[in-house]
Amino acid sequence: MSQLSKSLFLVLAAVVALVSWSACSHGTVSGSSRITVLLTDAPIDFTGVSAVNVTIDGVTIKPAGDEEGEDGEKMRLLTDGPLVVNLLDYQNGATVMVAEGELDDGDYAKIRLHILEAELVRDDDGDPDTPEIVEPIFAPSRKIDVNVPFSLRNGEDFQVTLDFDAELSVQVNETGGQHPYILHPVIHVVGMDG
């Protein structure tokens, strides 16, 4: 076999190997698993309130043992921009997906929701023809950590459902301060499947 034939053979072999590798890598990569994060809200009685909107601009998953800094962030929200969630729309078992993506197999300790803003929408006079009042909800912390220890193994699909309890999370500022409503998030894990 001439030198040119050997070179051509090696180039063709490399192309075939690359195409084969590319075709195999379109599914779930070995050593990684798919995770989905959902939100729901327990039924509440917010008489006169039509919406409790929370704008989530990121979701990160923290590996176990990596409790400090942003270096441990493994996943960001997979949307084209911030996601506005009206918590009242997701009661009685209804859920909304706030993040989905692949993570390396391993042990994880928490899910962090990054909150951009929150607002309470209410109808103060009961007349549907008059505009509703939108009140900002002050969020002292823009990062909400939910301790959710879980493990991902063997390319499995894993789903976690978080209950963002609007009734307990939105508090009226009794001191008459600058912010009439304050967000002190109360979030519980209500389901893990995987």
pTM: 0.74
For 107-166, how does the pLDDT look when each residue is reduced to its tens digit (9 = 90+)?
999 999 999 999 999 887 777 777 788 999 999 989 999 999 999 999 899 999 999 999
For 88-110, how does the pLDDT look when each residue is reduced to its tens digit (9 = 90+)?
999 988 999 999 988 889 999 99
Query: How high is the pLDDT of residue 6?
Result: 36
Which residue matches tokens 């301060």? Answer: 177
Query: How high is the pLDDT of residue 52?
Result: 93
Helices and strands: H and E segment counts in the chain: 2, 11
For 61-72, how does the pLDDT look when each residue is reduced to its tens digit (9 = 90+)?
988 886 554 555
Reading the block at residue 76, the tokens are: 């960001």
Reading the block at residue 49, the tokens are: 């309130």
Length of the chain: 194
Q: Which of 180, 159, 20, 38 lies closest to 96, judged by CA? A: 38
Of 26 and 133, more confident: 133
Given a contact cutoff of 8 angstroms between Cβ atoms, the answer to whether 63 and 185 are in contact is no
**Which of the given ranges, 28-32, 74-78, 131-135, 188-192, has the highest pLDDT on average?**
188-192
Distances, alpha carbon 17 to alpha carbons 6, 20, 25, in Å: 16, 5, 12
**Measured distance CA(2)–CA(7) in Å, rounded:** 9
Query: How high is the pLDDT of residue 79?
Result: 58
